[in-house]
Structure 1
Amino acid sequence: MPLAIVHSRGIDGLAAPAVAVEVHLAGGLPSVTLVGLPDTEVKEARDRVRAALQNSGFEFPGRRITINLAPADLPKESGRFDLPIALGILAASGQIPAPALAGHEFAGELSLSGELRPIRGSLAMALAAGRIGRSFVLPVASAREAALASKASVLAAGSLLEVCAHLTGQGRLAECVVGDERGDDAGDYPDLAEVRGQVQAKRALEIAAAGAHSLLLAGPPGTGKSMLASRLPGLLPPMNLAAALESAAVLSLAGQFELAAFRRHPFRAPHHTASSAALVGGGSVPRPGEISLAHKGVLFLDEIPEFDRRVLEALREPLDSGRIHISRAARQAEFPAEFQLVAAMNP
């Protein structure tokens, strides 16, 4: 059958809408046409997939290949579609059985040798896939992160050959299972006991942690303002699983999540030259900013008088609502932004 459909997922803000990768082989001069609003990274998949298939011992069909990423009105970005495109070509050309693809979703970037490389946003995609009931095949480096979504069955693969062996019954991918990870204990946060003196400032820090209050530290250089601020996350109450997953999913979108830091309150300290888009999020493809990366944690703005006034004004609505809605000409996205603001300044 010259048509194959492979299930995958895109990224739209914190959501992970389903994407069907449709591959059709037809007669005519050999060519590869990629449609469905792909960006430059996705278009470059044609060359990566060709080399990965040939170096893995498969035949790249010398036919007219049309690849459609549906729905057509959803912009597609990053190299996450390399693996589903490669599998679609193999299934459409009869090199692997097409029915075996139905119960899985796939995402992963391919190297020219056929090895799988990690991708951003794997946790957000696994959370969405778990509601559908399909197994999610991901690169090994992304699978443990995605396995935190306990409702999803996550299979870890190291290469295109391993995925094909699983689909043809010649091998089996191991299911990645991660327990109720708690990351580092609270004792591994910077300890408030290390601060000598500053009784009044430490008392203010404890009150701010108890009531989720914003805090302004003012004092001469070297008095310990930054040291005090960095110890606030260790005073905050532990995160529940839902909050920890939401915080981890945002960090995963930025490629900054570490499994050892799961359930730990993030601490973000952007430089005072940060732009409004860097702080609240933005870009032609909306990405989370520092306020979202600090979700369920602390945002520390040192030397706050040096920040641009428009940057600080942009914090008003997120501080009130706990969310940030980013609107651009072609894209809109909403990210969580429940953070505790701590600022410091010199007199």
Structure 2
Amino acid sequence: MAALIRCIAAAALLFASLALYARAGEGPLVEVVPVAKALVRDELVTFGTLRSDESVMIRPEIDGRLAHLHFREGQAVAAGDLLVSLDDAIARAELAQAQANLGLAESSFRRSQLLFSRGASNAQALDEARAQQQAARASLALAQARLDKTQIRAPLDGQLGLRQVSPGDYLEAGQDIVNLEVLDPLKLDFRVPQKAVGQIHLEQRVEVGLDAYPGELFRGQVAAINPRLDEAGRSQAIRARLANPGRRLKPGQFVRVTVILAERPQALLIPEEAVMPLGERLLVNLVVEGRVEQREIKLGRRLGGRAEVREGLQGDETLISAGWQKVRPGMAVRTRPAAEAL
């Protein structure tokens, strides 16, 4: 009962003070701020992994002894550069044999043509000579292909990794020699939850941050979206690409990914302390021609002590940020900028 009496007395004192202000022709002193405008973004933050745009393991297609390495580990190479030479002695001998066999087959075919034209040979002999000629040509092409495969060249422009072999090693077909990585641009693979699938689209901007470069962001775009969700995690795989001109980013790095869902360059921002909750409604107190006016608003994102106003303000209003507890709509007030508050 005593507490109720004290509350009633405090309320009576407040209303008496307000009435006194009104009779005196001046109101209470409040702190005011203008509505600010700034860029506000809706973001989805997740994690991902950087990958080479292309990654190739250099391997021989035939067995052979490694005769010579034409590269240094970590070297940048261009497509077509010679990387590895296998011992080609046997391949060259096979090529020479095939060339000799082709010469003999072509001579036999020409003789068969001449005899057939003179009626001294039948069509079967001519066909057999033609078949032998074609077989010799195929054998020559095969021997040339085997010789060519003793020279292993770079399939892409890129940077080599660490070699797995040494000169003199006998290599089997398919054995790892060295990896070749394309480092600019890089692929970025990450996943988004099922509820965000509808918000991701091609060419959407992403920003990448990592511990190796604190405070620095690298930007890219969504390049591909897997149409099928992962059944275990109910997430969707997304692939983006980002430029890497200085080769500062490396494949395999774990990164923080921010997907830009929406941007509002001229969003309205007000201090959170200026918002007056009233049940389920949110109100702000404005100063219009020296008097208090209340207006209902709807908020968007909250950003470090500031709140985005999505509805209810135009952007040119002046808000009461401190002291709104002692005013009511229509009351005259005295104002000072919040930055000058003591």
The TM-score normalised by the length of structure 2 is 0.18
The higher-RCO structure (CA 8 Å, 6+ apart) is: 2
Higher helix share: 1
Higher strand share: 2
